[in-house]
Amino acid sequence: AGSKAYVMVAAVDVGILNLTNYKAPDPEDWFFGQRMLGLEIRDLYGRLIDGSLGTTGKLRTGGDGANMQSQGSPPTEKLVAFFSGPVELDANGKARIDFDIPQFNGTVRVMAVAWTKEAVGHAQTDVIVRDPVVITAGLPRFLAPGDAATMRLDIADTDGPAGDYKLSVTTTGDLSTGDKPLPEKLTLSQGKRQALSFPLIAQTAGDASITVKLAHNGGTEVEQTLYLPVRPAQLPVTNRMVVDLKPNGGALRVDKELLAASVLDGASVSVGVSQAAAFDVPSLLMTLDRYPYGCAEQTTSRALPLLYVNDMAKSIGMESDPDLHGRIQDAVYKVLSYQASSGSFGLWGPGSGDLWLDAYVTEFLTRAREQKYDVPAQAMNQALNNLQNSLGYDQDVQDRGSEIAYALYVLARNKKASIGDLRYYSDTQLESFSSPMAVAQLAASLALYGDTQRSEATFQTALRLAQASTEYDYYRSDYGSPLRDGAAMLALAAESKPVPSIVPQLIRLVARERADARWTSTQDESWMLLAGRALKEGNNSITLSVNGAPHTGGYSDRVAGNDLVDSPLTIANTGTTALQAVVTAVAAPVEPLPAGGDGFTIDRTYYRLDGTEANITEARQNERYVVVLKVYEQNKWPSRLLITDLLPAGFEIDNPSLVSSAQLSNFSWLAQTDAAHLEFRDDRFVAAFNPNEGDGDRNITLAYVVRAVRPGTYAHPAATVEDMYRPQYSARTASGMVEVKAE
């Protein structure tokens, strides 16, 4: 009596707890439980050898492929996971805590922890939460336009009154239930279960939903909404066009004809008019999102230029993005999740060994901190210390010049570089650097320390190196291209104070490289956006007419494919100077692209579990198949590869276990290639590979297991492979149709 008591209550779906292996809090055992005798091991061996010189060993485990990451699409339904926080009890030792449970049928575990100054306690119990009539739906996790699936409803009258229930099924998002009419009522008996099946046909891509309602004359009503994404059966394709707008009336019309051969739903079209077509900001931002996969380099490339987009928005005629701050902050936290204890960064998870990537991510963190984003001090210090330690033992400028120069630049930006080292490399070692970007980074580093004369001379050397290069060295491991190098040089020069005299020449160099490049990587696009800051003052003299309304300055817009049907866009140049408009469309093609490729070949074969080859155009429900992907790389340089296999909607990845895990004894002949990253999503299988140590010519074999789950007829998309940083080199298999027949 008289003590203040508090309680914390959590109510969580038992399924979530089982997935995460969560144990209810037990303060009694934590504070008063018995403990085993503690043991310590002291190891002095690290004092004999500098650990920073070593590489992290790989732990290889047998069996289930423990290092594989199973990643799925986020759930569309609301999760049951609630937490009250500390709540003070009243004088009677009681408190009322309410949770608004969403649509849910299942078991919820209620966990409570209570305490006063003198005591602690806990309790837990499982509570069944369900509607009086439970509706369980069996449907695919996704569909593609044109797919026809069979949806099954299992309806159990658990606590509701027996009798007739009015049934209604409504759909949204251009999803239909076919021509066969559904019954208007169902007769239910308490404690009994009924099953009802009907077709689901997807017409167009987008977010669809199915709402099932049951109503009894006595007042009992049950409603359940199910969400079903409909995604195109083909991966999106990017097309970029540059249109000349002649002075005094040259016009451009963008309408639905632009996407005549593409799926309108989910398509995006960007239009930009500026003095320099090569630096079209909206198209660069849109194509940066081409990969839906988030390695450290791609996450950094997307977020780095966003730090300055809102500052450029006004001059290019683009509206500021109010959600930008949150997106950048999320990117900061994401790349930090890839940081190892040494301060280095891995491409797909914590790792080390790529100094250029370390410098790239650390530069992003540096710039984010300069823009007042939350960058934890300890993580930042570890990243900088990693760069300093790496430079301490890595001085091979001939082979590692790109990495050394980048690390020096990032350290200089943080006032941690040695000016003596910068002057030494500038005065005596410039001819050893093969990358124009690296030389420009040395020049920018000197400018940061106020050495203007050396900085100007070094920038001149970088320009001469870029102009003299007749063939790009694709054996470089810095994710680059001639366009990336030129854009990075321009971005670094534009940021230097004073601005070096070569900026006009760099602008022409980058514009020429962009005109010659049909495909761009995330590196190209990120540095092009940063370089665009050098031109932000050049659009003030532009005068346009947009849909008949006058417009002054640069123009940027991004339009959804469906909006072009009723709202075409017309832009006319009302000024006296010729302009260029850049129109970029990212959309999935209506007709599947034929099999083929450049630089790669890819084959996809299905096998039954007994090892015999299978034809899955007619698959049996609940039958399992082994998908084997074989890729042959014809390029003669190391490549970072991405392999994507989109699933038919009626299939699901059965188990994220490699065939070589010995679970399938009939596939002992199948030798798989170790991947740097694997994902098992609801609608696709994804694998990424780092460059091999040979000359780039290699064979890759992958396998995973799928199960035919939902009866119906589905599009069978192509499997693809591409060089992530030279996307002009890619290949795909043929596509087709799959029918899953009911048991």
Pair (422, 454) in one structural domain: yes
SS3 state at 115? strand
**What are the distances in angstroms from CA 390 to CA 53, 68, 360, 400, 407?**
9, 29, 14, 11, 9
Instruction: Give the residue-averaged pLDDT of 688-715.
Output: 84
pLDDT at 71 over 60: no
Q: Record the tokens describing residue 356, joined without a space.
A: 């250029």
Query: Which string of DSSP letters, residue by residue, matches 157-188?
Result: ESSSPSEEEEEEEEEESSEE--SSPPPSEEEE
**Residue 1 domain flag:** no
Cα–Cα nearest to 631, from 678, 672, 594: 672
Tell me, yes or no, whether 626 lies in a domain. Answer: yes
- Tell me: cis bond preceding 498? Omega within 30 of 0 counts: yes
Q: Tell me the pairing of strands 677-680 and 712-716.
A: unpaired
Mean pLDDT of 621-626: 92
Q: What band does 394 get if pLDDT is binned at 50, 70 and 90?
A: confident
The pLDDT tens digits of the residues spanning 562-593 come to 888 888 999 999 988 888 888 989 888 988 88
Cα→Cα distances 509→287, 438, 512, 515, Å: 22, 17, 5, 10
pLDDT tens readout for residues 637-650: 778 899 999 999 99
Phi, psi of 702 (to 5 degrees): -130, 155
- Please tell me whether residues 320 and 465 are part of one structural domain: yes
Structural tokens at position 526: 């990120």
The H-assigned helical ranges of 242-376 are 281-288, 296-313, 324-336, 355-370
Least confident of 316-330, 636-650, 684-698: 684-698
Mean pLDDT (the chain, rounded): 86
pLDDT value for 52:
54
Which of residues 516, 537, 558 is at a domain's end? Answer: 537
State the CATH number of the domain containing residue 543. 2.60.120.10
Answer for the pair 545, 250: CB distance below 8 angstroms, yes or no.
no
Q: Contact 15/126 with Cβ under 8 angstroms?
A: no
Neighbours of 227 (CB within 10 A): 13
Q: What whole-number distance in Å separates Cα of residue 322 and Cα of residue 301?
A: 20
Nearest to 109 by CA among 230, 225, 11: 11
Structure tokens at 10: 């959590």
Which residues are within 8 A (CB) of 657 and not within 5 positions of it... i.e. 6 or more apart?
Answer: 64, 65, 68, 663, 705
pLDDT for 631 equals: 93
Q: Is 2 left (phi over 0), alpha (psi -120 to 50) or beta?
A: left
Residue pair 640/688 in contact by the 8 Å Cβ criterion: yes
Average pLDDT over residues 252-277: 86
Confidence band (pLDDT; 50, 70, 90) for 734? very high
For position 67, what pLDDT does the model report? 40
Q: What pLDDT score does 61 carry?
A: 41
Between residues 276 and 698, which one has the greater pLDDT? 698
Q: How far apart are CA 592 and CA 735, in angstroms?
A: 7
- DSSP annotation string for 362-396: HHHHHHHHHTT----HHHHHHHHHHHHHHHHH---
Question: Can you give the pLDDT at residue 69?
Answer: 46
Cβ atoms of 378 and 353 closer than 8 Å: no
Question: 321 and 456 share a domain?
Answer: yes
Residues 446 and 492 reside in one and the same domain = yes
Structural domain range at position 657: 596-741
In the chain, pLDDT over 90 holds for what percent of residues? Answer: 44
Distance in angstroms (rounded) separating the CA atoms of residues 290 and 236: 8
pLDDT digits (tens, 9 = 90+) for 338-356: 999 999 999 988 988 899 9
We report the CATH number of the domain holding residue 306 as: 1.50.10.20
pLDDT exceeds 50 at position 129? yes
- Assigned domain for 258 exists: yes
For residues 69 and 440, which has the higher predicted lDDT (pLDDT)?
440
Give tens-digit pLDDT for 709-729: 999 999 999 999 998 888 888
As given in the structure block, the two tokens for residue 218 are: 């006595």
> What CATH code is carried by the domain that includes residue 619?
2.60.40.690
Taking the C-alpha atoms of residue 586 and residue 420, their distance in angstroms, rounded to an integer, is 48
Asked whether residue 737 is domain-assigned, the answer is yes
Same domain, 307 and 339: yes
Task: Reduce the DSSP state of residue 148 to 3 states and report it.
Answer: strand
Query: Average pLDDT, stretch 300-311?
Result: 87
Mean pLDDT, to the nearest integer, of 507-519?
86
Identity of residue 345: F
- Can you give the pLDDT at residue 62? 40
**Could you tell me the CA-to-CA distances from 72 to 20, 226, 405, 646, 679 in Å, in that order?**
15, 18, 39, 13, 8
Question: What integer pLDDT is reported at residue 115 of this predicted model?
Answer: 95
104 and 48 within one domain? yes
Residue with tokens 């602008």: 507
Residues 657-693 as b/e (b if ≥16 CB within 10 A, e otherwise) read bbbbbeebeebeebebeebbbbbbbbbbbbbbbbeee
Same domain, 315 and 463: yes
Two structure tokens written together for 276: 């320099």
pLDDT exceeds cutoff 80 at 699 = yes
Domain-ending residue, one of 64, 98, 129: 129
**CATH code: domain of residue 189:** 2.60.40.10
pLDDT of residue 63: 39
> Are 228 and 179 within 8 A, CB to CB?
no
Residue pLDDT, tens place only, 230-250: 988 888 888 888 888 898 888
* In the block, residue with structure tokens 């649509």: 103
Structural domain count, the chain: 5
